Amino acid sequence: MGITLEDVFEHGTRWFDTVMSGGSAEAQAAFFLDPHARIHVTERGVAIGLEDHHRLHAQWINEIHSFGTFVLRILSTTPSRVRATGTVYWQAEYRERPAPNVIKAVVGEDWILERVPDGTLKFVLYMSEFHHPLPDSAPIDL
């Protein structure tokens, strides 16, 4: 069964909802083929484990994720794998920081996803290429 852009957005929306609602590292791991996956922040040259990713997002409230333009490339049909690249508008408010305390940024996402035998999608590789803060954004501390 092929993977559509709609499938990718549904998976991404569930992922973002889990992250911004305080989903544990274990809850986040359910979105990946490898339960010990890392999120690669390529502009900073770091790979963040899911426990650290959970702690990072715990400092923010009122997160918003909105998909921008994405491009889908088929990598293989058996297994069904795609590469999805595009942008996400991200906004988050620091819990305990004086103004300016709202991050407003465009984030470059580069994902490889696979459809597993039960029909769900899983991240094979998750790369965050860039975080471009908007002019009135609080600084981003990753």
User: What is the pTM assigned to this prediction?
Assistant: 0.94
Question: The domain containing residue 85 runs over which residues?
Answer: 5-133
SS3 of residue 28 by DSSP: helix
Whether 142 is covered by a domain: the verdict is no
Query: Domain count of the chain?
Result: 1
Query: For residue 110, what pLDDT is reported?
Result: 98
Query: Using N-to-C axis directions, what is the helix angle for 5-20 and 50-58, rounded to 10°?
Result: 60
Read off the CATH number of the domain in which 84 is found: 3.10.450.50
Per-residue model confidence as pLDDT tens digits over 44-69: 899 999 999 999 999 999 999 999 99
Contact 84, 109 (CB under 8 A): yes
In a domain, 97, yes or no: yes
Is residue 109 a part of any domain in this protein? yes
